[in-house]
Amino acid sequence: MATGFLRPTQRVVDCQALYHNVAEEIKLLPQGTELFAVVKANGYGHGAVKVAEIAKKAGATGFCVSILDEALELREAGFTEPILVLGVVEPCYLTVAVEHNIAVTAASLSWLQYASQLLQEDRIGQLTIHLKIDTGMGRLGLRTAEEISEVVRFLSDHSEFELEGVFTHFAKADSKDTDYFKKQNNRFAQALALLPNDIRYVHTANSATALWHEQNNCNLIRFGAAMYGLNPSGRELAAPFDLKQAMTLETEVVHIKQLPANESISYGATYTTTQEEWIATLPIGYADGLTRDFQGFTVLVGDKLVPIVGRVCMDQCMVRLNGPVPLGEKVIIFGNQDDQANDFQVGAEYIGTINYEIPCMLSERVPLVYVNEQLTAEE
């Protein structure tokens, strides 16, 4: 896909905000606890390599990704730190993981048996693994004591694996109701009792867990959404420090017209003017990640919030202005300006999703621009 450098729509990423969010979290960590920056999905749309670079400067000691290709991108960019692939890697690709010193998730005995067969055939050395325990997410991992014990016995007989880590994932760590969190935490403690006690990394904490819960017997956190300044609970829980949203999605007015009453706008004629109205066209649409659900959503034109009128088109959308503005007037789709907040949380509430889905949806067609690259530690 071509990136639209020759139009005014862009994702502006504040590097200092990213640095701030990581550094502030590290201040809260117990001594000996490490932070791995989660840079999957192209750094939640912020650019994985750049985010990893900033997170490392702020104190991150490793990285988490979702697929093996994302890990290779970091290795090719020169990162030598530990990298964990959180998703399942097909055993036929494990040679690549071993060659590039990438840790992968082991979520079942059957996967380990298949992987063992291929590793022994290829004779390429040890594969670094983190065992995944399913304590109640219902997605990946070992569930029962029998499964875990069987895996422990299997690994003791198979030197082609290096058991570097064990982890789980909490489903409701971002909620005021902690009952389910406690249930999962207890299950993980029971699982740990069945495992060797010399495992290097024990980790349960995603951003929500890291922000609001103690991580007993753990020495690593996986810092994702909060690194980008996005509160994983939405508005339910206040973060222990000021999370700074790192990305602003912005564009400019490229066309403006005054329409009389009873004129319709965009596909399906779902909006009709009720009086003389100033309508501006913006060069951003659903192919850029601004989905049709955002019809009616308000964006910042100058210092005024104005609504998107009519259906969002593939490449453009229209807004109703309070009065004429010059061509080239800046428009903030998601972000803050002065005292006006129009951030991803506002957008998420409008379409009924979570704040970090929106930057992940933004298309590669929208270029990434980095600002405030001179990083400074805050007192």
Residues annotated as binding site for substrate?
139, 314
Q: In the numeric block, which tokens belong to residue 307?
A: 């609504």
The answer to whether 371 touches 14, Cβ cutoff 8 Å, is yes
Q: In the numeric block, which tokens belong to residue 165?
A: 């880590």
The answer to whether 250 touches 262, Cβ cutoff 8 Å, is no
Per the listing, tokens 């300006």 go with 337
DSSP-derived secondary structure letter, 126:
P
d(CA 260, CA 275): 6
Q: Which of 182, 257, 267, 304 is catalytic?
A: 267
Please report which helix (H) or strand (E) contains residue 209, including its range: helix 207-212
Closest CA relative to residue 261, chosen from 277, 243, 240: 277
DSSP-derived secondary structure letter, 216:
T
CA distances from 305 to 110, 274, 302, 311 (A): 55, 19, 8, 18
Q: Which of 19, 40, 172, 356 is catalytic?
A: 40
Region of 341 (left: φ > 0; alpha: ψ -120 to 50; beta: rest) is: beta
User: What are the E-state strand segments in the chain?
Assistant: 10-14, 34-38, 62-65, 83-85, 103-106, 127-132, 161-167, 201-205, 220-223, 247-252, 255-259, 264-265, 271-272, 277-282, 298-301, 304-309, 317-321, 330-337, 340-342, 368-371
Rg (CA), the chain: 24
d(CA 9, CA 2): 13
Q: Which residues are annotated as a binding site?
A: 139, 314
Strands 255-259 and 277-282, sheet pairing: antiparallel
201 is catalytic: no
d(CA 341, CA 332): 10
The answer to whether 158 touches 116, Cβ cutoff 8 Å, is yes
The answer to whether 228 touches 19, Cβ cutoff 8 Å, is no
267 is catalytic: yes
Return the amino acid letter for 272: T
**Which residues are annotated as catalytic?**
40, 267
